[in-house]
Structure 1
Amino acid sequence: MVKELIKTIEKSKLFDEIAMTEVSQDINYEKIQIQIAEVLGMEKKNDSLQGRAMQLLQRLSKGKRVLIVLDDVWDILDFECIGLPNLEHDKHCKILFTSREESVCQNMGCKVNFQVSVLSKDESWYLFREMVGEIADRPDINPIARDIANECGGLRRYCIMQWA
């Protein structure tokens, strides 16, 4: 779902660059930093968490309009530890993140929350089939594919945009 949103944002030309990373339940700040830096075409100059954070902060403060997408956030993130600018002062960098937990959104001081409704069984299957492709229609795979779609579908996720 986030990837579709990113495609739409890319077409709109609202941002010069868009960097996305999946955070997941076990927060790994190093992984987050490295993935963002790679998308932004940054050279790896620092091996320390603090060094990479400073490097990212400098890069994100250069004036380009950058959207940072943090997908699947389970707990409060330390933006300073990642190297993300203070959104109250930086008008060029924006952060969008998704979380299953509304409390995470509230505790991170989000400006705007968008609740994404639960997918119906049919919508879950359609989305699953779009991701997997026609192989999901094969008679030997279809029952298993539908079970997986039913198990995964309908997840409530919150899509949050923080605008300075």
Structure 2
Amino acid sequence: MEAKQIRVAASAPCTDPFGAISQRCLENVMDVLAEPNAHLIGVYGSNHELKHTLIEKVCRRVLRDKLFDRVLIVTASKKPDVKKTQEEVTCQLRLTFNYKSKHDVKKIQEDIAGQLGLTFNNKSKDKRAHKLIERLKIEQKILIILSDLHKELDLSKVGIPYGSHHTGCKILLTSTTEDLLSNHMHTQHNFNIGS
């Protein structure tokens, strides 16, 4: 059964006058990550440093609190591509791959697979996506962070299962705009970390 989408946005940017991430914003993100039906969470704001710091704090907390067994961090690009995303996941899964990326989607696939220790051996994007889905489903509780998303990215083409396809997989997206997260990536919860 598909989770009901709920929109939550911080009423004011979650920053303090000194530029540090406020504890409230971090707590809001952590609370949502702990919700069983929240699978796609967005953080937006124009300050890259604040988003990066938030990602670091979230990673430390989820691993310390054992909320997830594994955390993968993938940096998207201005031109998100399935292969690029697959490459990043592959890298973090400790898998090997035997070719150079020409497309961003394949790079993302490689990065994810690498973090999982998965090997692609020059497979098509669709075959890579299928292999990633199979491998990610082995992980009971996994958080995938896709940072710096600039335009829509089809997560199914990358091979990232979530929601009813893999209830143990949650995705945290960061972007400069709420519009991309809400209207194009269809996040369930969004938080503004400020400018």
Shorter chain as denominator, the TM-score bin is: 0.5 to 0.7
Identity, % of aligned positions: 33
Higher RCO (C-alpha 8 Å, min separation 6): 2
Task: Indicate which of 152, 156, 161 corresponds to 1:76.
Answer: 152
**TM-score normalised by L of structure 2:** 0.57
**Residues 24-81 of structure 1: CA deviation (Å, up to 9, x unaligned):** 2111111111111111122334521111100010111225211111000011110111
Q: Where in structure 2 are the equivalents of 1:49-64 lying within 5 Å?
A: 49-64=125-140
Note if contact 2:109-2:128 (Cα within 8 Å) is conserved in structure 1: yes
**Residues 67-96 of structure 1: CA deviation (Å, up to 9, x unaligned):** 111000011110111001142342111111
Q: Give the corresponding residue for 1:12.
A: 65
Total equivalences in the alignment: 118
Task: Indicate which of 167, 176, 183 corresponds to 1:91.
Answer: 167
Q: Give the corresponding residue for 2:190.
A: 113
Q: Distance in 1 between matches of 2:174 and 2:63?
A: 18
State the 4+ residue runs in structure 1 displaced beyond 2 angstroms: 43-47
Q: Does 1:22 align with 2:98?
A: no
Task: Indicate which of 33, 38, 43 corresponds to 2:109.
Answer: 33
Q: Give the corresponding residue for 1:100.
A: 176
**TM-score normalised by L of structure 1:** 0.67
C-alpha distance 63-20 of structure 1, shift in aligned 2 (>3 A): closer
**Greater share of strand:** 1
| Letter of the 1:68 counterpart | I
CA RMSD after TM alignment: 1.5
Larger radius of gyration: 1
- The runs of 5 or more residues in structure 2 that have no matched partner are 1-52, 81-103
Q: Give the corresponding residue for 1:143.
A: none
